[in-house]
């Protein structure tokens, strides 16, 4: 099993990011991923993580292709790949209409937007001497985006999805890589575990693009009410002791997931005890 770690850069200071990256590398993670929210620039955060480490791969999961043009994204990606010895991996996505409305950006049909981006990205020349290679992945919730990722990119991300959705996604991707963003709760008591899980899910519950994907995974609108039904929460979030969490990861792997990207829903990445648990988990 390949493991990545999601690092929400907005929540940590630069010294903390450096320490987290070094702990993750020591634990044996394959990738560090950072998202684009409303604070830190994701490429600058990736540069910080790259500078702090030696062998671990670092990437955006994701950067919003509405927020900067193709030349800016490609220049940043190839610069980071060149300086790191090809340890940088580029994850892109269209975010969602709610987030783009906050930026004052128009919304286009996602497949049309991504295809136009890929056309211009491919045609953009990077005019400095380099031997950089940049794997490229698409956040793809939906059959059309997933098929596009299989045709034009190196793979895709899905976030908080049940096993059946992973299987469908891998079938559409074929040989390309499937990354699953997997929030994980280290808690064995069901009510406490689900409370942590509902907090992790809450930011996504108003977003219709997630509802469409969850419906495709077999859920109904009533599952999204009141913080999410127990069965819905249990299908999206890995929780329990180490053995139970690893069972969920293994099931996802059996259904096509190539890398589990762990989101620590109830662990503090600045505490040493967290890294003891994470190290034991990914080596388990």
**Measuring CA to CA, which residue among 184, 186, 187, 188 is closest to residue 201?**
184
Assess whether the previous peptide bond of 226 is cis (omega < 30° from 0): no
User: Is residue 5 over pLDDT 90?
Assistant: yes
Question: Mind listing the pLDDT tens digit for each residue in 206-230?
Answer: 888 888 889 988 899 999 989 999 9
Longest C-alpha distance within the chain, in Å?
56
- Quickly list H helices, 86-219: 97-103, 110-123, 143-152, 163-173, 190-202, 208-216
Contact 89, 59 (CB under 8 A): yes
Taking alpha carbons only, the member of 179, 176, 134 closest to residue 159 is 179
Please report, for residues 20, 49, 73, 98, 279, the alpha-carbon distance to residue 54 in angstroms, rounded to integers and kept in the order given. Answer: 14, 10, 23, 37, 18
- Kindly state which CATH superfamily the domain 2-182+240-283 is placed in: Luciferase-like domain (3.20.20.30)
Q: What percentage of the chain reaches a pLDDT higher than 90?
A: 87
Are 252 and 260 spatial neighbours (Cβ–Cβ below 8 Å)?
yes
Cα atoms found within 13 Å of the Cα of residue 140, Cβ hemisphere only: 33
pTM of the predicted model, to two decimals?
Answer: 0.95
Q: Is the pLDDT of residue 202 over 80?
A: yes
Distances, alpha carbon 256 to alpha carbons 57, 105, 211, in Å: 21, 35, 22
SS3 266: coil
The CA distance from 57 to 59, in Å, is 7
Lowest-confidence range among 5-19, 213-227, 265-279? Answer: 213-227
Question: Token pair of 192, please?
Answer: 């406490």
pLDDT of residue 171 exceeding 90: yes
Residue 86, SS3 per DSSP: coil
Q: How far apart are CA 155 and CA 201, in angstroms?
A: 24
Note the pLDDT tens digit of each residue in 69-103: 999 999 999 999 999 999 999 999 998 777 777 77
Domain ranges of the chain: 2-182+240-283
Does residue 12 carry a pLDDT above 80? yes
8 Å CB contact between 185 and 265: yes
Q: How far apart are CA 228 and CA 232, in angstroms?
A: 6
Q: Tell me the per-residue pLDDT of 120-164, one tens digit each, with 9 for 90 and over.
A: 999 999 999 999 999 999 999 889 999 999 999 999 999 999 999
């Amino acid at each position: 099993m390949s493991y990545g770690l999601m690092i929400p850069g907005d929540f940590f200071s630069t010294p903390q990011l450096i320490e987290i990256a070094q702990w993750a590398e020591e634990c044996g993670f394959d990738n560090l991923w950072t998202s684009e929210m409303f604070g830190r620039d994701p490429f600058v955060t990736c540069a910080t993580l790259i500078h702090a480490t030696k062998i671990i791969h670092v990437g955006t999961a994701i950067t919003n292709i509405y927020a900067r043009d193709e030349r800016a994204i490609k220049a940043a990606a190839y610069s980071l790949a060149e300086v790191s010895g090809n340890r940088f991996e580029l994850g892109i996505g269209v975010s969602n209409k709610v987030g783009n409305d906050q930026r004052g950006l128009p919304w286009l049909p996602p497949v049309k937007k991504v295809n136009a981006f890929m056309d211009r990205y491919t045609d953009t020349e990077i005019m400095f001497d380099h031997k950089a290679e940049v794997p490229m992945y698409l956040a793809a919730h939906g059959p059309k985006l997933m098929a596009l990722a299989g045709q034009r990119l190196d793979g895709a991300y899905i976030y908080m999805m049940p096993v059946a959705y992973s299987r469908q996604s891998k079938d559409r991707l074929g040989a390309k890589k499937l990354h699953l963003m997997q929030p994980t709760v280290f808690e064995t008591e069901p009510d406490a575990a689900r409370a942590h899980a509902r907090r992790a899910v809450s930011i996504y519950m108003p977003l219709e693009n997630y509802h469409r994907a969850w419906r495709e995974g077999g859920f109904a609108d009533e599952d999204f009410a009141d913080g999410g039904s127990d069965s819905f929460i249990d299908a999206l979030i890995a929780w329990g002791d180490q053995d139970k969490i690893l069972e969920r990861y293994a099931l996802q792997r059996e259904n096509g997931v190539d890398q589990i990207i762990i989101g620590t829903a109830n662990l503090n990445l600045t505490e040493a005890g967290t890294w003891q648990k994470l190290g034991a988990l990914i080596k388990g």
